[in-house]
């Protein structure tokens, strides 16, 4: 009997020591290594404040959260709260993992950058300021940061027009590029801004309503004077239209929706009919041939006395040369009649 009791006691002791037990509840060890106010904004121990004191050097964070801050040993990702910071090592490069791709994917939330880099993006973090690369006026918010020529002078809006598009497009057969530069080649740098506003509502700032609206496309609106210039003594009022399906525009003065009446003309001898008229072309944005010379008006225009193209220089010497080539784009498609050293309104 004593032997049995002794064996029972030994067995009880053995099983009580070897049976798995529920562990006592403990606090999250990953949190306990930080101060209790680590996640309390405004506290001197707030992690944002602590990092600022280290010039945002987050190398120490990698010890627990991993080289890419995506979990590491503690399996807690910094990116649960910070979508872009701490920045990955590929942040300043090109392609996946770069800030350019991140910003495009997220809808260009540049406001999130100013918390660390300052309202004007000039604050240096580990000896690096956003303005080290973004040297244009307005820094990262310059128009040609996202489209156009990144390294060019942002004050000239010709450099802000694609190529490149916001996704890097460079082919003129893509909608993002199309005939942007072909249009801007017709103007000088001082009138580039007005040319942009012919087809777009040009935003005053990055965050202007309708600028970054999620679809990655710039809406076409013909609010400028050039597309809507009146003619035929004010009777023909173009109402420009853009077809988003075909990528074509129609009924614009600048592509031939105009008419000149002989009855009120000062140079009536050039008329072969009661009026001279454009061809009211419908050019396609991605097809240069659809806007080739002679498509917006015949050579010469309908209703004009017959003449060879090489003879245009006789009356339009300020605009074309003896070969019929345009020599002054400021006098071509400008809402004026330039002939025999005279200039008058289309109206």
Residue 10 has pLDDT above 70, yes or no: no
Tell whether 261 is covered by a domain: yes
Among 133, 151, 179, give the residue marking a domain's end.
Answer: 133
* pLDDT-based confidence at residue 28 (cuts at 50, 70, 90): very low
- Determine contact, residues 219/201, Cβ cutoff 8 Å: yes
Residue 7 has pLDDT above 80, yes or no: no
Tell me which residue of 298, 319, 300 sits closest to 309, measured CA to CA.
300
The tokens for 120 are 């004007």
Residue 204 has pLDDT above 80, yes or no: yes
Tell whether 92 is covered by a domain: yes
Instruction: Calculate mean pLDDT across residues 82-103.
Output: 82
Residue 23 has pLDDT above 70, yes or no: no
Note the helical H segments in 111-186.
111-117, 180-184
Domain encompassing residue 84? 35-133
Residue 99 has pLDDT above 70, yes or no: yes
Tell whether 176 is covered by a domain: no
Q: What is the pLDDT of residues 299-338, one digit of tens each?
A: 999 999 999 999 999 999 999 999 989 898 888 888 888 8
Half-sphere exposure at residue 305, Cβ-oriented, CA atoms within 13 angstroms:
9
- Determine contact, residues 183/195, Cβ cutoff 8 Å: yes
Instruction: Say how many domains are in the chain.
Output: 2
- pLDDT reported for residue 190: 59
pTM to 2 decimals?
A: 0.74
Helices (H) and strands (E) in the chain, counts: 8, 6
- Determine contact, residues 221/200, Cβ cutoff 8 Å: yes
- Determine contact, residues 135/154, Cβ cutoff 8 Å: no
**Distance from chain centroid for Cα 125:** 26
Instruction: Calculate mean pLDDT across residues 131-150.
Output: 89
Q: Which residue has the tokens 């917006």?
A: 296
Tell whether 98 is covered by a domain: yes
Tell whether 173 is covered by a domain: no
Which of 75-84, 186-195, 294-303 has the least mean pLDDT? Answer: 186-195
Q: At a CB cut-off of 8 Å and minimum separation 6, what does 165 contact?
A: 147, 174, 176, 177
Mean pLDDT across the chain: 83
CA 82 → CA 58, 63, 69, 165, distances in Å? 13, 18, 10, 28
Tell whether 159 is covered by a domain: no
Among 85, 106, 133, give the residue marking a domain's end.
Answer: 133
Instruction: Calculate mean pLDDT across residues 181-189.
Output: 80
CA 123 → CA 48, 53, 115, 129, 151, distances in Å? 15, 13, 10, 6, 21
Tell whether 73 is covered by a domain: yes
Q: Is 43 helix (H, G, I), strand (E, B) or coil?
A: coil
Q: Is 344 helix (H, G, I), strand (E, B) or coil?
A: strand
- Determine contact, residues 107/38, Cβ cutoff 8 Å: no
- pLDDT reported for residue 54: 81
- pLDDT reported for residue 314: 92
Tell whether 80 is covered by a domain: yes
Report for 18-22, 207-211, 265-269, 278-282: range of highest mean pLDDT: 278-282
Query: Greatest CA span in the chain, whole angstroms?
Result: 140
Among 133, 152, 175, give the residue marking a domain's end.
Answer: 133
The tokens for 278 are 């454009």
Classify residue 339 by its DSSP letter.
E
Residue 85 has pLDDT above 90, yes or no: no
The tokens for 127 are 């000896």
Instruction: Calculate mean pLDDT across residues 41-64.
Output: 83
Instruction: Calculate mean pLDDT across residues 98-111.
Output: 86
What percent of the chain shows pLDDT beyond 70?
90
Instruction: Calculate mean pLDDT across residues 38-50.
Output: 84
Q: What is the pLDDT of residues 113-132, one digit of tens each?
A: 887 888 888 887 777 888 98
């Amino acid at each position: 009997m004593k032997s049995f009791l002794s064996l029972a006691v030994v067995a009880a002791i053995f099983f009580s020591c070897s049976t798995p037990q529920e562990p006592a509840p403990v606090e999250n060890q990953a949190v306990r290594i930080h101060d209790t106010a680590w996640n309390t904004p405004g506290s001197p121990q707030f992690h944002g404040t602590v990092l600022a004191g280290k010039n945002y050097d987050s190398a120490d964070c990698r010890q627990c959260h991993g080289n890419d801050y995506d979990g590491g040993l503690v399996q807690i990702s910094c990116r649960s709260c910070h979508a872009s910071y701490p920045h990955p090592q590929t942040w300043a490069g090109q392609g996946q993992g770069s800030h350019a791709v991140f910003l495009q994917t997220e809808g260009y939330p540049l406001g999130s950058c100013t918390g660390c880099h300052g309202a004007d993006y000039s604050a240096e973090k580990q000896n690096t300021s956003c303005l080290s690369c973004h040297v244009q006026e307005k820094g990262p918010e310059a128009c040609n940061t996202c489209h156009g020529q990144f390294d060019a002078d942002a004050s000239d809006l010709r450099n802000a027009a694609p190529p490149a598009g916001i996704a890097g497009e460079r082919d003129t057969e893509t909608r993002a590029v199309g005939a942007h530069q072909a249009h801007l080649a017709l103007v000088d740098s001082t009138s580039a801004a007005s040319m942009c506003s012919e087809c777009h509502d040009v935003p005053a700032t990055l965050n202007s309503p309708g600028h970054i609206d999620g679809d990655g496309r710039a809406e076409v609106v013909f609010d400028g004077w050039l597309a809507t210039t009146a003619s035929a003594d004010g009777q023909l009022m173009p109402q420009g239209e853009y077809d988003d399906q075909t990528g074509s525009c129609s009924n614009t003065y600048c592509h031939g929706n105009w008419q000149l009446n002989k009855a009120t003309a000062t140079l009536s001898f050039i008329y072969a009919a009661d009026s001279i008229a454009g061809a009211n072309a419908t050019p396609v944005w991605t097809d240069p041939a659809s806007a080739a010379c002679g498509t917006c008006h015949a050579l010469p225009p309908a209703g004009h006395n017959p003449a060879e193209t090489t003879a245009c220089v006789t009356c339009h010497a300020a605009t074309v040369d003896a070969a019929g080539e345009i020599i002054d784009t400021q006098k071509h498609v400008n809402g004026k009649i330039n002939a025999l050293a005279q200039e008058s309104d289309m109206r």
